[in-house]
Every structure is written in structure tokens, then in C-alpha cells.
Structure 1
């Protein structure tokens, strides 16, 4: 039987401890309570703790010290901080130290429950991500970088889909990493020891694509001087990745449908039926449902492909992942170019985080490679980035990432405060930048937070 989630509540006010214990136990959690940080650490060392709900202002060890020690001891523990004396400095410091959320007293039941639920959902997704990373690493797979909720949910679907025999359809904008995930579907499946064969359906004209996929017989067309095996045959016992499948012609779609329905192919110019044992992972940046309605894509093929749909989020929706990916690419290209570039300046990080990345991860990788080559020192600065990215720091950074959720009936002054705190989190505590993004004076930020 699965153990219930263990929540540890730390507060020096006994009334709050009792109230939170009652609220959380009603939600089905196992709850431990303590009135001091030292005892909280002892509990976390002695048994599994999934989440800590801690007050900031406590005698002896304050909440931020507790948070810092907990994260050093066990990074997987999620921490939600509480305080009756909310300040932007405390909020920003808590987030920097790894807290999931920061909630103000007097506590409201709905806000506490929602914050705890979301923190635990994130913990579950991170755990799934770690399992997937280990499995892919053990299989010799590619890098999976990211911690955003949108990306972790995508990886969760991949980890669930991979062991099955079902066809997978990856959809998303260009540059979001569809081939990387296709490889990971293969590596996490029972077919991992078989071949992985990738075909870009948009890169070849129709006449050549049919021959490339299904093979051809000698004399099938001008220049076919010998019999040739197709990609489906080469992928036998493994996985074939059909990238940009929405660009295929009607005749190619008919042949693909036969493979999915019957597990058979016919080579171009041939009469012989050839059985193939292949798992199909397809990808597209098009809306295949619309293409189906307009007659550009076969409905029956779409349903055969769309058994498990995985939608890859664009980079602009993967809040927090840009810096991780940029550092990953920096390490790769510093080694490749034999340079000693170690990181990014604060201004460069803000610019990278503020830019919209229409070309997604591929554009970010190209940008970092260029910056590494141009960088003359150990840190990449704004001067090493393209002008359109370097100037993005003055744009609307709030359009990138996850928004804030406001419960119905929340007073306007509280909504304003929530928005200010969230903006400060995303600007790393830079009040001038936050004021500029919000279109208010910096003094207004101080005044609103002190109200």
C-alpha cells in the first residue's frame, strides 16, 4: 500500500500548528508538527518528508535558515514559506533559496491547500523527470534539460508512453526538440536494442521520399540501377521517426497507412509484400486536424498516428528553462571551441529570459554557440548577444512563462501585491526593472508592498 504524503508544519504559534494540521489531515496527508527549526531538521533526517510548510519569523533558527539547510540536506523536499510580515526582500530570498511558494498570514484555507497541492504536483513531476533522465542516461540517450512544469509534464507523458507499443505523434513548433524526444521514446522502450531510423519527410521531393521510405526495385525509375532497401526495412525491430509527416503527399500517406494497419510494405516498382516490425513515432509542426478537414491529410492515417499525442511546449512557455539550457549549451561549445567561458552576466541572463525565442531551443543553441565564439572573456555579456536579444531585456518579460492564479473575490490591493511579488521574482529582485515592466514608479512598488 502506498504511503500517504508526509507534510511537516513548522511554526512557533501553537494555534496555527493545530489549524494547519486539521486542514491538511482532511486533505488526506500525514501531518507532523513542530514549533522550532531544529526539531524540524531532526524529523527530516529521521524519516521521509515530502513537503515542509514553515514560518519565516521563528526564534533560534528562522525559516530562511531552515529552508537553506533543508535544501542542502534533501533537495527533493518542497518547501512553502509563511509569514505575517511579508516583504519583497523575504519573498525574493525564499525563492532564490529554493522555496516553491510564499504565502501571507492570516492564512486562508483555499490558498494553503492549493499551494501544497501544486508543490506536491511539482515534486511528483521532478521525480518522474529524474527517473526518465536516469533511464535515458543508462541507455546512452541525449540530454533532457528542464525543470519547468510544462516541460516536466511533457516528459511524464513520454515516460508513460515509451514502454508501450503504441504509435506516438509529437506536435509542436520547429526547434522544440521533437527528434530528441523521439529518440528517448525509443531508448525507453523494449526496442532500445533495435535501430532508430530518422527521416525528414520535408527534406526530399515526393518521388525520392517514396523510394527512401519503402525502397525500390531495379528499373523502377530512371537511375534505379539496383534494388535498394528502404528506411522502414532498415528500422525493422526498432523505431522509425517520421519528422514533418504533415508535408507528405497523398500517395505516401496511403503507403504509410498500410504499414500501420498491416505491418507490410511494397517497394517502389515491386510486387512482393514485405513484412516489417516497426514502431512509428511521427512529428509535425502543422495542425493535422485542420489539414484533415481541408483534405490535405488523410483522416484514417491521422487517427492511426494520433494514438498517443505529445505536445511539446514552446521555449517561451518553459519558465525557468532558458538559463538551464543556455548553461548546458555553453559547456558544450566552450569545450568544442577550446575556450574558458564560464557563464553569463546578470544582464545577459535577463536578456535571455526576456526574449520570446520564436526559434525555440534550436535558436537558443545557435545563439549560445555564437556568443561563445565571440566572447573575449570568461563571461558572456550583452555585447556578445544579437541586438534583438540584447534589447529584449527592456521588453515585456511577463509574457514569458506561467502567470499568477488569483482566487475569485481577492481584493484588488492583494492582486496588485501578488503581481508585484511575481514580477520581482522573475527579475531577480531588480526593483527598477520590475517597475519598468509594470509601468509604475519604483516608489509605488515599495508603497504597495508596505500597505
Structure 2
């Protein structure tokens, strides 16, 4: 049940608000002044606080400010008979959801509480989602090759150095890029990803640099490109080895000059972007075959991080399997399924040509097809690994 705390030094106001809110099926508690109200907030997690501004000893703004240090911060709705625009602005700047004059209009009060609860739920959902995303982007493993990757990330992340991430498909190159961004000084800004292999060569320049309205047939409005979107943040060029030579030339110029020009435009636009690139190709071989620019390669590969294939880190498979069992159970809303030790050993013997991505798919298949516990027999029957 939704819990609401009323902090007001006027007993009649507290009782009136309580009757209204309990009629609306809210769980309501009272505090006769700011100090008592703050103590209640320390003792219990409330969803919404209705707080008077003018109170002796500790006023409502002071309660609001003090509540910001608590582990759980409810939505504050300030109420006052002496409201001014300056007071309302000050309260919202300090974190109040809204400001209502006394005596409060009943419909507005109930609507404000509902909207405050919606915001609180959204914040909570966002926290859960961020936690899930953070877990899904975690680099799992304690083998020597993966520890070397983690060590390099820690050394390089805080710098402005460009990083080229290499490795087979499914090894987790995008996890390395995310870790580099998360640990960088640009982490509060955007990490913008471009899959160079998924965009047709005739559209890649527009995708990267944007275009002006009317610059080509389907350009019905101006478009902001990925370089501009990543300004002051990080641009991750995935599968850079599949980028066309004309686009490579423009990327090289952008890196050299810190400026881009939209397709069909003339104005140069300054951009401050840290570029991370990834590829499953041997770029030195691509250079020999005249499919990749050597000067761009040297611009991108200040630091090279080679992500090992799963075959080179089979001792990490038990940790990865355990993580996938947990993640998939969370996604399905079920309990984590157990797996027999010999089943894990069987998975360690496989030839994982699709690397970690393939392993996760196999674990999901085993969860669906097996009984209460995943056995070695299940692995042999359903895993389809060599």
C-alpha cells in the first residue's frame, strides 16, 4: 500500500488531509513538526510527503534538504498558506515535486499525489533497468587472458586515447567498449554506437555526419549524425572493417581536425568525441588488400585490445554459465535452474565458434528443454556443440 507522511504543525490540517487520503485508500501517518517528521523518514520508507513550509524550529525546506541524504527519498509536495513564487521555485530547485497553496484544492491535491507516485515508480523502474543493463554489460571471467583485458581497460579508460578492439564474433567487444566509456571522464555523456556493417555504404556518411534537408532524394528534413550526438561523449564504431573507403576518408578528417560537415552542407561543425572502434577482421590484411586506409588504422589503434575467443578461456565457462542461468531466470521471472558439475564440464569441452554469444544461447536452450536440473545428458542432447 502507498504510504504518505503529513508533516504540519496545525493539527486540524493534518487530520483533514488524513481523512481525505485514507478515504482514497492510502496508508497515512502524521508528524507535528519538522524534527519529528525527519525522524519518521529515517525510521520508515514513505512514498510521498506532504510537508508544510512554515513550521517552528525546523521548516519544511530544511526537512526537504535533510531528506536528500537518506537512502530512500520520497516525493515531497510542499504546502503553505504563505506561498510566494520565490518559495515555490526554491522548493522545486531543492527537489520538491510540487508546491500547493493552503487550503489545498482536493482534486489538484489527489492528482498531484498520483503524478508524484507515477514519477517515483518511473525512477524505481529506471534504477532496476540500469542495474540490469549494468549486469548484462559486466565482463565475466578470471582467466589470464580476460584479466589482461580488464587490466588494460583500467589503465586506458581514464585517458583520451583511441582504442581499437579486435576479436572474433561473439567475444564481447561491445562489453569492452562499454567498460571503457563507463570508467572514462566522459561517462556522464552519451555512448553512441554505430554498426558499420549494418548500414548500406551509400547511407553511412549520412549516419555518421548527418545531412541537410534536400541534400538527396529522401532527405526530407535535417538529420543530426552520430558524431554530433556523441559530442563530449564516446563514439563506438563497431565493425569498422566494413566501412567504405569514402566514409573512412571522412572519418579520418574528422579525427584529424575535430570537425565534420553534414552531407549537403557547407558549414563545419566542431565536435569533441572520443572514438572507440571494433572489428573481427585483420585490418593489416585489409590494408594490404587496399580495403582499409593505413592512415586511419594508425589513428584508431593508439591502444589495441584483443578480446580472446572462448576457446582460449574455457576456465571461465563455469562463471559465464552461472551468470547466464541467473540472468535468464531473471528475464523469465523464474527461479534459477541448477546445473550438474559434469554438465558444466561437458560445456567446457565444446568448440565455441560463436563464442560467448553462442554459449548464452545454448544455456537458454538447456533451461527450456531440461528438467529440474541440467544434466550432462541434456548437454549432449540439446547443446549441439562439437
TM-score (norm 1): 0.54
Any runs of at least 4 consecutive aligned residues in structure 1 with deviations exceeding 2 A, and if so which? 139-142, 338-343, 382-392
Map 1:7-86 onto structure 2 (within 5 A).
none
Cα distance in 2 between the residues matched to 1:168 and 1:391: 33
Deviation at 1:388, TM superposition (A): 7.7
Correspondence for 2:270 among 264, 275, 279: 275
**Which whole-Å CA distance do the structure 2 matches of 1:334 and 1:384 have between them?**
18
Q: Which residue of 2 is the match for residue 191 of structure 1?
A: 186
Q: Which runs of 5+ in 2 are unaligned?
A: 1-129
Whether contact under 8 Å (1:237, 1:277) holds in the other structure is yes
Q: CA deviation at 1:294?
A: 1.4
Counterpart position of 1:316: 311
- Which whole-Å CA distance do the structure 1 matches of 2:206 and 2:385 have between them? 48
| Structure 1 residue 293, shift from structure 2 partner | 1.3
The yes-or-no answer on 1:248 pairing with 2:248 is: no
Larger Rg: 2
Render the CA deviation track for 1:336-358: whole Å, top value 9, x for unaligned.
Answer: 22333432113311211100111
8 Å contact kept, 2:366–2:383:
no
User: Residues 90-128 of structure 1: CA distance to partner in whole angstroms, max 9, x if unpaired?
Assistant: xxxxxxxxxxxxxxxxxxxxxxxxxxxxxxxxxxxxxxx
Query: Cα distance 1:208–1:149, how it changes in 2: closer, same or farther (>3 A)?
Result: same
Tell me, in whole angstroms, the C-alpha distance in 2 between the residues paired with 1:161 and 1:327. Answer: 29
Answering whether residue 170 of structure 2 is matched by residue 175 of structure 1, we say yes
**2:313 is the alignment partner of 1:325:** no
After TM superposition, give the deviation of residue 220 of structure 1 in Å. Answer: 0.9
Displacement after TM superposition at 1:385 (Å): 3.4
2:348 aligned residue = 353
Distance 1:288 1:151 in 2: 22
Structure 1: distance between partners of 2:180 and 2:385: 38
Cα RMSD (Å) of the superposition?
Answer: 1.9
Q: 2:234 aligns with which of 233, 239, 263?
A: 239
Q: Where in structure 1 are there 5+ consecutive unaligned residues?
A: 1-135, 393-451
Distance in 2 (CA, whole Å) between partners of 1:389 and 1:350 is 13
State the Cα distance separating 1:389 from its structure 2 match.
4.2
2:376 maps to 1:382: yes
Tell me how far apart the structure 1 counterparts of residues 261 and 337 of structure 2 sit (CA, whole Å).
54
Partner of 1:162: 157
Deviations 1:404-443 (A, max 9, x none): xxxxxxxxxxxxxxxxxxxxxxxxxxxxxxxxxxxxxxxx
Distance 2:322 2:384 in 1: 17
How many residues are treated as equivalent by the alignment? 255
Separation in 2, partners of 1:381, 1:155: 32
Aligned partner of residue 206 in structure 1, secondary structure: coil
Matched with 1:294 is 289
SS of 2:266's equivalent?
Answer: coil
2:385 & 2:278 partners in 1: Cα distance? Answer: 33
Normalised TM-score (structure 2): 0.63
8 Å contact kept, 1:146–1:321: yes
What SS is found at the alignment partner of 1:185? helix
Name 2:24's counterpart in structure 1.
Answer: none
Instruction: Using the TM superposition, give the Cα deviation of residue 362 of structure 1 relative to its aligned residue in structure 2, in angstroms.
Output: 0.5
Determine if contact 1:351/1:390 at 8 Å carries over to the other structure. Answer: no
